Amino acid sequence: MSVSELFEEARTGLKSLFVGLGITGKAFCQPQVTVIYPKEEVDNLSTFRGHVELVGKEDDPSVPRCVACGACVKACPSDCLTILCPVPAKEGQEDAPVVMGPAPQKGSKTPGAVIVDFSLCSLCGQCAKTCPVDSLRFSDNPYMVALDRKEFRIDLMARLKRQAEEE
């Protein structure tokens, strides 16, 4: 390598260094964005994406809009959603206990249980996008903490009923 080539390389490197320092300097002079929790509260939760939750009907918020079609389960790449529906009793077995099976079930338009395993969820939103009746949305709860992974299996039907009772 000749001296002129070495000088050119150093000049290019210094230019890149000063461009980077300029960007860093501008960011350093901007107002702070980080919130020091728990001294300060987060105020922009409208854009936060927590786990998915069911949306209730307008006339009865404790009943989900879900029609148990299973589209969200099929669309989920993480396989974290489970929809269980009551399986219709066979002839002569009407007195048998209700058995739950995976959605969709013939003749069943309401889910018996909707469970999300938040420890597996990638928050991609495919379930909410594919739902034909818009029965899924993201929660705005940023304070989900647990010591055991099993606590991240959330029964969305029970959660919807609790939310309806609180309102």
Could you read off the pLDDT of 65-75 as tens digits, one per residue?
A: 999 899 999 99
Domain boundaries, the chain: 1-30, 51-89+98-166
- pLDDT higher than 80, residue 95: no
Task: Say how far apart CA 127 and CA 144 lie, in whole Å.
Answer: 20
Query: Does residue 92 surpass a pLDDT of 70?
Result: no
* Domain 51-89+98-166 listed as CATH 3.40.50.10140: no
The label of the residue with tokens 């669309």 reads: 75
- Name the E strands within 50-150: 52-54, 81-87, 99-102, 113-117, 136-138
pLDDT at position 78, please?
Answer: 94
Phi, psi of 77 (to 5 degrees): -75, -20
Nearest C-alpha neighbor of 61 from the set 151, 167, 166, 164? 164
For residue 93, what pLDDT band results from cuts at 50, 70 and 90? low
Q: Is the pLDDT of residue 161 over 70?
A: yes
pTM given for the model: 0.69
- Residue 113 token pair: 């249980």
More confident residue, 37 or 151: 151
Average pLDDT estimate for 139-144? 83
Q: Are 156 and 63 in contact (CB under 8 A)?
A: no
